[in-house]
Structure 1
Amino acid sequence: MKFVDFVRIKAIAGDGGDGCVSFLREKFLPKGPPNGGNGGPGGNVVIRATRDETSLKHVGHVCKAKKGQNGAGGGRNGNVGDHLVLNVPIGTVVREIEVEEEPRKMITKEEIQAEKEARWVLYPRAEDIQVPEGKPNFFKQAQRMMDEEDRYYRWRQRTKKGEPIHIDLTEENQQVVLCRGGVGGHGNPYFLTSDNRSPKWATRGRAGEIREFELEVKTIADIGLVGLPNAGKSTLLGAISNAHPKQADYSFTTLHPYVGTVDYADQYQLTVADIPGLISGAHRNIGLGHSFLRHVERAKILVYVIDISRSSPIDDLKTLQYELNAYKSGLTDRQSLIVANKADKVGTAKNNLEQLQAHVKGSIPIVPVSARYEKNVLKLTSVLRKEVERIRAIEIEEARKLEEAKEDDELV
């Protein structure tokens, strides 16, 4: 199945339902009062984070909610249109795209008149009713009232327009409304006055909001495995967690991130992400490029998986660190660990491991393992747990201090 972690969408909220023109008709009441219902509001476009999704493949480029139900006779208002809920993976970043407004063009009087007429729902043959000279034109009064409402509606849209949406969905069931549905139209009782006891018109619903967004998935995991193609990341993930990524002896066997869970005897858990292989020039989007790098940003610990059976593991480490820093400055400053994989290759592994240890000079811990034969894996999982526990404790303490600071501000 194709993995999609970036998509651009147009979100269209539902239009409001139309109001109804209706009158009460009973056996001994042939000309009863107006009883047309109002149209229902249009549906909203909502985005929600869930663990049930891992890709944006199912998200269409145009996402439209349902229109509100039209009003009906007997004072029955229309139902709200069905909301469109977009379920996306946890870790999705939602960014609104500012669309430049087209320059306003000259509108003719005929176009203005046609636009005004299009928003009205008229009773059959109501347009043929002639207003006697000297009598008030109730329909024109209703038009002026709606023109005033239109001006207020446009003013409210301008004044209530806040900052563009930019939100990070990092929690289960976290959701945000992208677009709100249009308001339903008025039924004919809305235009009832002491002079006009039989209004024969209603209004159509207003259009829903239309906005454009970029959705980008950034995998959330405690540990991110980074390495060159064929370094053994997928094999290592399978050895330490419950994940079973594809393993083969060719480059780019992993085409999208896999997240596995490491389970300990005391039911402690941590998550490990196998990120697609990195090559020189990835920060310029060469190879899998940004499809890989965007998933590194959230990892608490970066684990460099180095194949120490290769001729120059030091150069491999330098390549990885350079690409990470070129993509985002300071990315390599976070807590790191080197997994010297394929340590079972006794011919070259021992000398290369000593050279790698001399190069890092203790600045980054190194754990030699053989992922294929699951040698020294227990020590690796113990080291990973120790570091993750330490980082989680720091995050909890920082969150506590931030909450206390907010409470102090509220008291002030």
Structure 2
Amino acid sequence: MCPWDTLSPGVGAAASTDGRGVSGASAGLSVPGGGGARKPAAAAPTGRACVLQKRHFVDHRRVLVRGGRGGDGVSCFHSEPRKEFGGPDGGDGGNGGHVILRVDQQVKSLASVLSRYQGFDGEDGGRKNCFGRNGALLYIRVPLGTLVKEGHEVVADLSHPGDEYVAALGGAGGKGNRFFLANDNRAPVTCTPGQPGQERVLFLELKTVAHAGMVGFPNAGKSSLLRAISNAKPTVASYPFTTLNPHVGIVHYEDHQQIAVADIPGLVRGAHRNRGLGCAFLRHVERCRFLLFVVDLSVPEPWTQVEDLKYELEKYEEGLSARPHAIVANKIDLPEARARLPQLQARLGQKAIALSAATGENLEELLLRLKDLHEEHVANELARGRQPLRW
């Protein structure tokens, strides 16, 4: 059987709203193999298994999409009492449904995107000049910041809430014999079949979109800091590489302003050469409007961390390290850290925000600086005639 004859799980009914389908059990599908006793359903995973599934993160996906096929036209003639030869009345087939990518801010990764999608077919035409119904639109929900590529060419950048992109066009419906009626042919029998939908292979790539991006070496305290200033709950532990996926938290202010802050997994020296987590997560820094360099003050010579981070960013993309930024000196609650703060600021030639994500010391200064960076970004975007990112 052709793989297009069956829809992938989750691609079925209710496509005109969100594209989610009905599972085999709820749709009343029988198990192949017939009349024997049914095999008991597997129990739902519990405990740690559920936690692992919940944390599953995918930031790239290959998708095969195909628009719905157009319905066939019909060849028939009108007939009724005392009007035996009423002429052709075969209706046209409906157009196939498009497959559309749509940004949904509730979706955080590409894990829910399937590898294959088939659009809905149009209905065939009918008698009495009845046209077939068009196929319903099939929406694929993708996260904000999804880049769509065909081959090596970028065809769409879905970086704003509500953005849509037609991934595959539905086929045109066929013509009924009524369409071919002419002065020299009063009884046409010709009708045409529906056209197949467009078929494409697309590559989806997620680049996290946020106002601020926190970059730093592993175990610098970025996740603890994000938990302290926002509603995000990333995993926090005392060992390096705790954060393996980007997390975005929203900082709320009293004037109802909201700033999105992204916790980027820890970088290491040589990240631009794909060491450590490598380029797979360096690309998440690209969409951040300004940066927070998080430095661990408890280690010797903490200023080298900022120098190394800027070097890695610049090697990955020219100009990335020159974006507006702030230096955040974390773990000021430790005795040896406080003594290194003056030397850090002298070496970098700029003020560092000394704080402790663990105790909450001096978080207010970071929040004020974060708001200043955001207001500068908004002013620059408006001056260029562009709409700033809003959450």
Question: How high is the TM-score relative to the length of structure 1?
Answer: 0.76
Aligned counterpart for 1:376 among listed residues 358, 362, 384: 362
SS of 1:381's equivalent? helix
Matching residue's letter, 1:226: V
> Could you tell me which residue of structure 2 aligns to residue 172 of structure 1?
161
SS of 1:221's equivalent? coil
- Residue 319 of structure 1: how far off its partner (Å): 2.4
Aligned counterpart for 2:227 among listed residues 233, 238, 251: 238
- Aligned equivalents of 1:73, 1:192: Cα separation in 2: 15
Give the conservation status (yes or no) of the 8 Å contact 2:303–2:348: no
> Could you tell me which residue of structure 1 aligns to residue 90 of structure 2?
36
Matching residue's letter, 1:255: L
- Residue 302 of structure 1: how far off its partner (Å): 0.9
Is 1:87 aligned to residue 141 of structure 2?
A: yes
Deviations along 1:224-278, one digit per CA (max 9) or x if unpaired, are 1011111100100111112121111222222222111112223222121111111
Question: Would you identify which runs of 4 or more consecutive aligned residues in structure 1 move more than 4 Å?
Answer: none
In the TM superposition, 1:10-409 aligns within 5 A as: 10-97=64-151, 166-346=155-335, 348-362=336-350, 365-399=351-385
- Aligned equivalents of 2:139, 2:262: Cα separation in 1: 27
Percentage of pairs with the same residue:
44
> Could you tell me which residue of structure 2 aligns to residue 140 of structure 1?
none
Deviations along 1:5-55, one digit per CA (max 9) or x if unpaired, are 122222211121111122223234444422111111111121111212111
Matching residue's letter, 1:356: L
- Aligned equivalents of 2:110, 2:159: Cα separation in 1: 15
- Residue 310 of structure 1: how far off its partner (Å): 1.5
SS of 2:371's equivalent? helix
- Aligned equivalents of 2:273, 2:115: Cα separation in 1: 26
Structure 2 segments unaligned to the other structure (5+ residues): 1-53
- Aligned equivalents of 1:18, 1:41: Cα separation in 2: 9
With a CA cutoff of 8 Å and minimum separation of 6, indicate the structure with the bigger relative contact order: 1
Question: How high is the TM-score relative to the length of structure 2?
Answer: 0.80
> Could you tell me which residue of structure 2 aligns to residue 109 of structure 1?
none
- Residue 400 of structure 1: how far off its partner (Å): 6.9
User: Which protein is bigger by CA-based radius of gyration?
Assistant: 1
- Residue 334 of structure 1: how far off its partner (Å): 0.8
Deviations along 1:39-97, one digit per CA (max 9) or x if unpaired, are 11111121111212111111122222111111111211111112221221122222332
RMSD: 2.0
Change (3 A) 1:266 1:194: closer
- Residue 313 of structure 1: how far off its partner (Å): 1.8
- Aligned equivalents of 1:400, 1:193: Cα separation in 2: 54
Change (3 A) 1:400 1:27: closer
Deviations along 1:87-111, one digit per CA (max 9) or x if unpaired, are 211222223326xxxxxxxxxxxxx
Give the conservation status (yes or no) of the 8 Å contact 2:223–2:235: yes
Bigger proportion of residues as helix:
1
- Aligned equivalents of 1:340, 1:194: Cα separation in 2: 85
SS of 1:295's equivalent? helix
Change (3 A) 1:53 1:320: same
- Aligned equivalents of 1:204, 1:252: Cα separation in 2: 58
Change (3 A) 1:50 1:12: same
Matching residue's letter, 1:349: A
- Aligned equivalents of 1:382, 1:197: Cα separation in 2: 79
Give the conservation status (yes or no) of the 8 Å contact 2:103–2:163: yes
- Aligned equivalents of 1:193, 1:177: Cα separation in 2: 37
Matching residue's letter, 1:357: Q
- Residue 179 of structure 1: how far off its partner (Å): 2.4
Matching residue's letter, 2:364: L
Matching residue's letter, 2:373: E
- Residue 286 of structure 1: how far off its partner (Å): 2.7
SS of 1:321's equivalent? helix
